[in-house]
């Protein structure tokens, strides 16, 4: 049972984050959500990604992405559509159509908007 924090995906249970010293802060860029957390979990830190793309649009070719790879490191999450981000210098998340989101140094969790289907819950595909 999730009492705090969002659920990612249909059945994946994700532990709540962001209950430490920093205040919880939720940001949204289109169908992508970014939340401040205390630290990138250890198990996730072992799965660094070689790119800075948070989400890539299937039919538009647009993407939500880290403008400068030198400002942060992306990690694969524990559920489909979940990512973690460690920002080491003030960073910008950019997209062709959406306003830029600026991130300060720290750890973040990233996930996608979901949508209901009678059979299953799926991520919003764009």
Partner 1 sequence: MSILDRIRNLFAPAPAPAPRAMAAAPATPSVPIVRKPAPEPPPPPESPVARRTLDRHGQDIVALEGPMNADISINLAECRSLKRLPDGIVTGTLTLSDCTALEVLPAGLSVAFLDLAGCTALRSLPEDLRLRGGRLNLRDCAQLTGLPDGLGEVAQLDLSGCLNIQDLPAGLAVTSWIDVGNSGIRTLPARFDHVGVRWNGVAVARRVAFAPETLGHEEILAERNAEVRRVMIERFGYERLLERAEAEELDRDTDAGGERRLLRIEMPGDEALVCVSVRCPSTGHHFVLRVPPDMTSCHQAVAWTAGYDDPAQYKPVVES
Binding site for partner 1 (CB under 8 A): 2-8, 25-31, 33, 57-62, 97-101, 111, 113-118, 122, 124-126
Q: Quote the least distance from Cβ 40 to partner 1, whole Å.
A: 19
Q: Quote the least distance from Cβ 101 to partner 1, whole Å.
A: 6
* H/E run at residue 63: strand 63-66
Sign of CA pseudo-dihedral 33, 107, 6, 81: positive
Minimum CB distance to partner 1 smaller for 43 or for 115:
115
Q: How far apart are CA 4 and CA 14, in angstroms?
A: 10
Q: Quote the least distance from Cβ 9 to partner 1, whole Å.
A: 8
Minimum CB distance to partner 1 smaller for 52 or for 109:
109
Taking only Cα atoms into account, the Rg of the chain, rounded to an integer number of angstroms, comes to 14
Q: Which two tokens stand for residue 39?
A: 């630290």
Q: Quote the least distance from Cβ 125 to partner 1, whole Å.
A: 5
Local structure of 88: helix, strand or coil: coil
Q: Which two tokens stand for residue 78?
A: 């524990």
Minimum CB distance to partner 1 smaller for 50 or for 61:
61
Minimum CB distance to partner 1 smaller for 25 or for 45:
25
């Amino acid at each position: 049972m999730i009492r705090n924090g969002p659920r990612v995906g249909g059945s994946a249970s994700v532990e709540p984050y962001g209950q430490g010293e920093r205040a919880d802060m939720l940001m949204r860029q289109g169908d992508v959500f970014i939340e401040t957390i205390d630290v990138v979990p250890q198990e996730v830190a072992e799965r660094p990604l070689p790119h800075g793309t948070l989400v890539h649009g299937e039919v538009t070719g647009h993407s939500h992405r880290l403008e400068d790879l030198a400002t942060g490191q992306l990690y694969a999450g524990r559920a489909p559509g979940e990512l973690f981000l460690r920002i080491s210098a003030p960073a910008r998340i950019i997209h062709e159509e959406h306003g830029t989101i600026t991130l300060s140094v720290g750890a973040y969790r990233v996930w996608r908007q979901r949508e209901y289907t009678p059979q299953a819950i799926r991520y919003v595909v764009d």
